[in-house]
Structure 1
Amino acid sequence: MKVIGVGDNVVDKYLYKRTMYPGGNALNFSVYAKQLGMESAYLGVFGSDRAAEHITKTLKNLEVDLSHCRYHDGENGYAQVDLVDGDRVFIGGNGGGVQKDHPIVLTDEDLEYIKTFEIAHSSIYSEMEAELHKLKEAGVKVSFDFSADYNDQILEKTCKHVDFSLLSCGQWKDEEVEELLKRVHSYGSNLAIGTMGSRGSMVYDGQTFYRQEPHFVQPVDTLGAGDSFFTAFILHYLKGKKEKTMKTEAELIKASLVEGAKFAAKTCLVDGAFGYGISF
């Protein structure tokens, strides 16, 4: 399978140790997919500074296709991060850097390129909501990470263009998560996925709720845990659908959740989203 991340990239600047790591929801998806053995690409906007140079060099070394990325003079996106007992705490950033002034507008050429992939993944930090309908209309499967920055208006407007919606739900009680995922499904997403931190994850397919406990490890850093969980989950799910490896949808979702939990646990043992830190 070939997959692509479309949207945000940043460096995560760990202030307490003066080290920055490549990251961003869409970019992480591309890297994690590559780690899981898929052919992957990334389409995003890069600046002209040292951070952008480090990210692009890292992705080229990992053999992630960057052929349709945009490059502009200016500061690349960054987030400032602190670490408390292994948990990430975001304390600032520059709002996406050059991406603010040069947002992604998908051209016909982009769409023809993206149509060669099994799925395109984006996020709330990619400022891509107005472009999602183009992907849907082109027949591309779309997944979207709302993180914790969503409200009902955003969900209703966006989910009709999204096949697989991911939401951070650690702040909600279980019954509230169920209601949220029901709503997301009713707005148009085939699968609604909620991550709940140490309480694991939940998936709703329009009929049944599926729960998955996390695979507990002593974390080095939880940055990227949600992205890695989702990447492993959705790739296993899509591969199973394609190859018809499971007898039922329920079996496939359950098996995919296990794969997601396993991969997320591995990610928590690495500094940054996937390593490759340099000093700043």
Structure 2
Amino acid sequence: MNVLGLGDNVVDKYVYKSMMYPGGNAVNFSVYAKQLGAQAAYLGIFGTDEEGRHVHRVLNELGVDTSRCRSAEGENGCSLIELIDGDRVMVGWNKGGVQQEHPLVFDASDYSYMKQFQWIHTSIYSGIESQLPELRTLGVPLSFDCSDEWDDNYLKRVCPQVDLCLLSCGAMEEDAVREKLAFVASAYGCTGVLGTMGSRGALLYYNGAFYLQKPHFVQPVDTLGAGDSFFTAFVLALLTEGEWNKAPEASVRKALDAGAAFAAKTCLVEGAFGYGKPY
């Protein structure tokens, strides 16, 4: 199995202890896929600072293919996290650093490279919305993480171009999540829409049916990356079943449980997947 994380990378700086950890939706997908036994690549842009070099070094150490990545002079993507009343809270970020001034623009050789993969995953933080129609023509299943920054206008723009959409829905009641997922799928044509709800688990709308997955509870060390790890394991499990978009109910439920199990393991690691470095 060969998958690609496309777009954002950051270092998550834990300000209260002066440690930084590699991460970002696209990077996390690639790393988690590698941990689960897939061949994984990442295509994004690194800053030339120590933060960017650290993310790049770690990906190379883990065996994630970064051969198509770019670099640009300046700050790597960075988020700032504080400990507030026992909870880790994001208190700021630099909007992707060099990715702002040097957004990813793909050429014919990039698109040819992407065709080799069985799945591509990207996010709202990757800045490639305008290139989604071209990505759609590649014939490779495409997932998109909208995080919790989506609104209906944004979903209307993005979702018709992707196969599987992720929405962070932790602040919504379950009935409202169900209504939103069904609407997105029916109005915009996604095969699947996955709403993550924090400690309440995740709700999937897939081929006209709802699936609720409760979390596998552990005493967490750090919940950063739990949603990304859940999604990655879920997707890989679906892919192993054959045609991901036509999986029977039993396979979908099995894949969701695999996601919950892997997310629980991720919660036992500092940062999204470890590799902290003092700064």
Normalised by the size of structure 1, how large is the TM-score?
0.96
The change in CA–CA distance for 1:126 and 1:64 in structure 2 (over 3 A counts) is same
1:205 is the counterpart of 2:206:
yes
The CA deviation at 1:205 is 1.4
Task: Tell me the percent identity.
Answer: 54
The CA deviation at 1:156 is 1.1
Runs of 5+ consecutive residues of structure 1 not aligned to the other structure = none
The CA deviation at 1:151 is 0.4
1:271 matched to which residue of 2? 270
Distance 1:260 1:48 in 2: 34
Which is further off, 128-137 or 253-262? Answer: 128-137
Write out aligned runs for 1:126-141 (5 A): 126-141=126-141
The CA deviation at 1:83 is 3.4
Distance 2:272 2:83 in 1: 13
The change in CA–CA distance for 1:133 and 1:233 in structure 2 (over 3 A counts) is same
Distance 2:244 2:179 in 1: 32
Q: Which amino acid aligns with 1:203?
A: L
1:169 is the counterpart of 2:166:
no
Distance 1:170 1:265 in 2: 17
The change in CA–CA distance for 1:60 and 1:86 in structure 2 (over 3 A counts) is farther
Distance 2:33 2:88 in 1: 22
Deviations 1:89-112 (A, max 9, x none): 100011100000111111110111
Asked if structure 2 preserves the Cα contact closer than 8 Å seen for 1:87 and 1:221, the reply is no
The CA deviation at 1:5 is 0.3
1:142 matched to which residue of 2? 142
Q: Which amino acid aligns with 1:54?
A: H
Secondary structure in 2 aligned to 1:89? Answer: strand
Asked if structure 2 preserves the Cα contact closer than 8 Å seen for 1:191 and 1:204, the reply is yes
Runs of 5+ consecutive residues of structure 2 not aligned to the other structure = none
Asked if structure 2 preserves the Cα contact closer than 8 Å seen for 1:203 and 1:211, the reply is yes
Asked if structure 2 preserves the Cα contact closer than 8 Å seen for 1:4 and 1:119, the reply is yes
Q: Which amino acid aligns with 2:215?
A: P
1:230 matched to which residue of 2? 231
Distance 2:16 2:99 in 1: 26
Query: How many residue pairs were aligned?
Result: 278
Cα RMSD of the aligned pairs, angstroms, is 1.5
The CA deviation at 1:206 is 3.6
Asked if structure 1 preserves the Cα contact closer than 8 Å seen for 2:32 and 2:229, the reply is yes
